[in-house]
């Protein structure tokens, strides 16, 4: 955390039209654990996450993201951030305690790209299977890819510039990297961090209020390769086989869930501090920035959103 009161990305709610198949996919192929169900939602967490859930799957007639939420340190920070969001010009609504399983009160607001965000502090604590006393490095019984945690999301929208101002000025995020037009006039992509990772959320110019991908963190490059094997064995559609990013230096693979939401598993990168200088890429080098080995984008990566 860089002193702004926002600790990390806490959860994402994804719309699923192929609901039961998606639940099976996220539990047995991704390897998340189910922690709760209600009439229209299933709640899941990665094995190395302490809170009740980080992913919510929602029954829907379309794919995409309902909202993404960040956890803050305490209720004082929540109230302070609520005021700053309103000062910036965004309308804030309160989400009542226990609106969703395991969650306390939250604030909800829509950012300039049209995405719905929430901030919250209270969520049920369930712990991890390795425990807190003399723990082993990992638990028995892991399934599928078994990421450590929800890591980030990349979202699309038209007004990346104002959205970046909102995150840096109102919420106190650090802009770690950006992609600009060759003349420097247009901001094409922006990578933003509130923790020590290369990006907790990022934005790319495109259709408003859309999800590009949700990323999960793995321990190392070997685990990314193993994930590729698991996906192929289960005949999951792989969009980009294992490679490296220039932007964030992460190592990655991209693929799709049964409803068409793009997933990523990701490792590597660098540590971010509050004085981290923004790294700049120009539009003519965006291929190298995204796919460092091929140095060019494929057609679907820049055109498919949910």
Q: What is the pLDDT of residues 114-138, one digit of tens each?
A: 999 999 999 999 999 999 999 999 9
Over residues 178-207, mean pLDDT = 96
Number of CB atoms found within 10 A of residue 102's CB: 18
Provide the pLDDT for residue 3: 82
Per the document, the length of the chain is: 306
Look at residue 109 and tell me whether its pLDDT is greater than 80: yes
The verdict on 175 and 254 lying in the same domain is yes
Residue 295 lies in a domain: no
Over residues 172-198, mean pLDDT = 95
Give the residue from 105, 120, 135 where a domain finishes.
120
Provide the pLDDT for residue 204: 97
Catalytic residue among 103, 177, 251, 264: 264
Provide the pLDDT for residue 184: 85
Residue 132 lies in a domain: no
The verdict on 107 and 161 lying in the same domain is no
pTM score of the predicted model: 0.96
Over residues 74-98, mean pLDDT = 96
Over residues 175-197, mean pLDDT = 95
pLDDT in tens, 219-266: 999 999 999 999 999 999 999 999 999 999 999 999 999 999 999 999
Q: Is 83 a catalytic residue?
A: no
The verdict on 273 and 178 lying in the same domain is yes
Provide the pLDDT for residue 141: 94
Catalytic residue among 52, 67, 115, 213: 213
Beta strands 262-268 and 250-256, pairing class: antiparallel
The verdict on 49 and 102 lying in the same domain is yes
Look at residue 28 and tell me whether its pLDDT is greater than 80: yes
Catalytic residue among 26, 254, 256, 266: 254
Its domain, for residue 273, covers 149-290
Q: Is 212 a catalytic residue?
A: no
CA separation for the pair 50, 128 (Å, rounded): 6
Which among 5, 18, 85 has a CA at the least distance from the CA of 256? 18
Task: Return all residues near 175 (Cβ < 8 A) that are at least 6 apart.
Answer: 164, 167, 168, 190, 191, 192, 278
The verdict on 252 and 208 lying in the same domain is yes
Residue 251 lies in a domain: yes
Residue 303 lies in a domain: no
The band of 193, judged by pLDDT with boundaries at 50, 70 and 90, is very high
Catalytic residue among 245, 251, 256, 266: 245
Which among 12, 17, 30 has a CA at the least distance from the CA of 100? 12
Q: Is 25 a catalytic residue?
A: no
Q: What is the dihedral sign for C-alpha 65, 28, 52, 215? A: negative
**SS3 of 41, please?**
strand
Over residues 146-156, mean pLDDT = 98
Residue 136 lies in a domain: no
Q: Is 245 a catalytic residue?
A: yes
The verdict on 256 and 169 lying in the same domain is yes
Q: What is the dihedral sign for C-alpha 156, 223, 297, 293? A: positive
Give the CA diameter of the chain.
56
CATH (domain of 78)? 3.10.180.10
CA separation for the pair 117, 167 (Å, rounded): 11
The verdict on 155 and 284 lying in the same domain is yes
CA separation for the pair 54, 24 (Å, rounded): 17
The verdict on 93 and 155 lying in the same domain is no
Over residues 14-26, mean pLDDT = 97
Whole-number percent of the chain with pLDDT over 70: 99
The verdict on 24 and 69 lying in the same domain is yes
Phi, psi of 25, rounded to the nearest 5 degrees: -65, -50
Residue 260 lies in a domain: yes
End-to-end CA separation in angstroms for the chain: 30
Q: Is 152 a catalytic residue?
A: yes
The verdict on 184 and 272 lying in the same domain is yes
Where do we find the tokens 């650090």? 174
How far is residue 199 from each of residues 96, 111, 196, 226, 247, measured CA to CA in Å?
A: 29, 18, 8, 24, 10
pLDDT in tens, 195-226: 999 999 999 999 999 999 999 999 999 999 99
Provide the pLDDT for residue 2: 67
Over residues 160-171, mean pLDDT = 98
The verdict on 91 and 38 lying in the same domain is yes
Catalytic residue among 199, 212, 223, 256: 199
Over residues 163-180, mean pLDDT = 97
**What is the average pLDDT value for the chain, to the nearest integer?**
96
Provide the pLDDT for residue 96: 94
Residue 125 lies in a domain: no
The verdict on 100 and 168 lying in the same domain is no
Q: Residue 59, class by beta-carbon neighbours within 10 Å (0-12 exposed, 13-18 middle, 19+ buried)?
A: middle
Residue 92 lies in a domain: yes
Give the residue from 81, 99, 120 where a domain finishes.
120
For the chain, the domain total comes to: 2
């Amino acid at each position: 955390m860089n002193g702004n009161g926002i600790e990390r990305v806490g959860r994402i709610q994804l719309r699923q039209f192929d609901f039961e198949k998606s639940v099976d996919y996220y539990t047995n192929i991704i390897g998340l654990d189910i922690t709760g169900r209600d009439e229209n939602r299933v709640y899941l967490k990665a094995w190395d996450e302490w809170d009740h859930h980080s992913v919510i799957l929602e029954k829907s007639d379309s794919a995409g993201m309902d909202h993404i939420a960040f956890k803050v340190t305490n209720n004082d920070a929540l109230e302070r951030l609520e005021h700053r969001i309103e000062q910036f010009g965004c309308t804030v609504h309160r989400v009542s305690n226990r609106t969703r399983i395991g969650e306390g009160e939250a604030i909800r607001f829509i950012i300039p790209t049209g995405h719905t965000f929430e901030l919250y502090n209270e969520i049920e604590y369930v712990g991890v299977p390795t425990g807190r006393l003399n723990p082993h490095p990992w638990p028995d019984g892991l399934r599928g890819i078994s990421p450590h945690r929800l890591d980030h999301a990349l979202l699309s929208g038209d007004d990346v510039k104002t959205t970046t101002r909102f995150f840096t000025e109102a919420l106190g995020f650090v802009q770690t990297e950006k992609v600009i037009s060759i003349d420097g006039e247009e901001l094409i992509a922006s990578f933003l961090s509130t923790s020590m990772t290369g990006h907790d959320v990022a934005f790319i110019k495109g259709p408003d209020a859309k999800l590009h991908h949700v990323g999960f963190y793995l321990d190392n490059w070997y685990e990314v390769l193993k994930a590729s094997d698991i996906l192929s064995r289960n005949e999951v559609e792989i969009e980009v086989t294992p490679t490296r990013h220039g932007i964030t230096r992460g190592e990655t693979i991209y693929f799709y869930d049964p409803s068409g939401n793009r997933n990523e598993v990701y490792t590597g990168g660098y540590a971010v501090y509050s004085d981290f200088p923004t790294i700049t890429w120009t539009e003519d080098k965006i291929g190298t920035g995204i796919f460092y080995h091929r140095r060019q984008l494929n057609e679907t990566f820049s055109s498919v959103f949910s």
